[in-house]
Amino acid sequence: MTRMSDAATLRLLAWLSPAFPTGAFAYSHGVEWAVEAGDITGQATLHDWLETLLRHGSGRTDAILCRHAHRAANDLETLATLAELALATAPAAERRAETIHQGNAFIAAARAWHPTTLARLAEQTDVPYPIAVGAMAGAHAIPENTAAAALLHAFAANLISAAVRIIPLGQSTGLAVMAALEPVILAVADETRTATLADLGTATWRADLAAMRHETQYTRLFRS
């Protein structure tokens, strides 16, 4: 049991590492526009923006989708339905492209772990990122709660990294935001344990607007 647990931990660390080639570094999830608009100016406003995304926005949505994909890891038909639903939750073209590109890249990079069902799914359709991560974790018997919390952590860490480069913030400030978000991540992970697909939905219109406005932002470092 110890060896299995350690192996699962190593896999999850590899898949959600910034070094895993999903291209996540190229996406800011609208943070770039929020900085230009003055919504995010430093540590406090970055924390508030990310907390809202995690509790009421795409972070929570992704955690729910990840959980359901985890449960359907070996069910190709259900995964295809979940992928379609996940794409329907994207409020803007860049958000849709972001989750598709990262999800497809995740599956391609994870071939070394033999994701048979995921590989078959990718042959049929684009696979949004939370579906890819959830199904991969489920196929390797990684605990669902661990996978959901890790996905939320990776989501927040990537946006903090983007903010560090855009605002700019110091690395220490970015880490302080990450530390302050830990209880939020754990709370959202716990809250989504019993969430159904009917619970999908967001209340982060400003972040959705940021995703739309970024498409025509004059100077851009990021793809979203």
Asked whether residue 9 is assigned to any structural domain, the reply reads no
At residue 137, the pLDDT reads: 96
Asked whether residue 12 is assigned to any structural domain, the reply reads no
Q: Cβ(197)–Cβ(210) under 8 Å?
A: no
Q: Cβ(52)–Cβ(58) under 8 Å?
A: no
How many residues does the structure list for the chain? 224
Asked whether residue 223 is assigned to any structural domain, the reply reads no
Give the model's confidence band at 8: pLDDT under 50 very low, under 70 low, under 90 confident, else very high. Answer: confident
Asked whether residue 143 is assigned to any structural domain, the reply reads yes
Give tens-digit pLDDT for 16-53.
999 999 999 999 999 999 999 999 999 999 999 999 99
Nearest to 57 by CA among 174, 152, 167: 152
Q: Cβ(21)–Cβ(105) under 8 Å?
A: yes
At residue 3, the pLDDT reads: 52
Asked whether residue 221 is assigned to any structural domain, the reply reads no
Total number of domains constituting the chain: 1
Q: Cβ(95)–Cβ(211) under 8 Å?
A: yes
Report the C-alpha gap between 62 and 64 in whole angstroms: 5
Which residue type, as a one-letter code, is found at position 10? L
Residue 210: C-alpha distances to residues 44, 58, 106, 162 (Å): 18, 13, 25, 15
Asked whether residue 6 is assigned to any structural domain, the reply reads no
What CATH number is given to the structural domain containing 37? 1.10.4190.10
Q: Where are the alpha helices (DSSP H) in 128-223?
A: 129-139, 144-166, 171-191, 205-214
Question: How far is C-alpha 47 from the chain's CA centre?
Answer: 17
Report the C-alpha gap between 103 and 127 in whole angstroms: 5
Q: Which domain holds residue 93?
A: 27-214
Q: Quick one: 146 exposed, middle or buried, by C-beta within 10 A (0-12, 13-18, 19+)?
A: middle
Asked whether residue 74 is assigned to any structural domain, the reply reads yes
Give the model's confidence band at 2: pLDDT under 50 very low, under 70 low, under 90 confident, else very high. Answer: very low
Asked whether residue 21 is assigned to any structural domain, the reply reads no
Confidence (pTM): 0.96
Q: Is 36 helix (H, G, I), strand (E, B) or coil?
A: helix
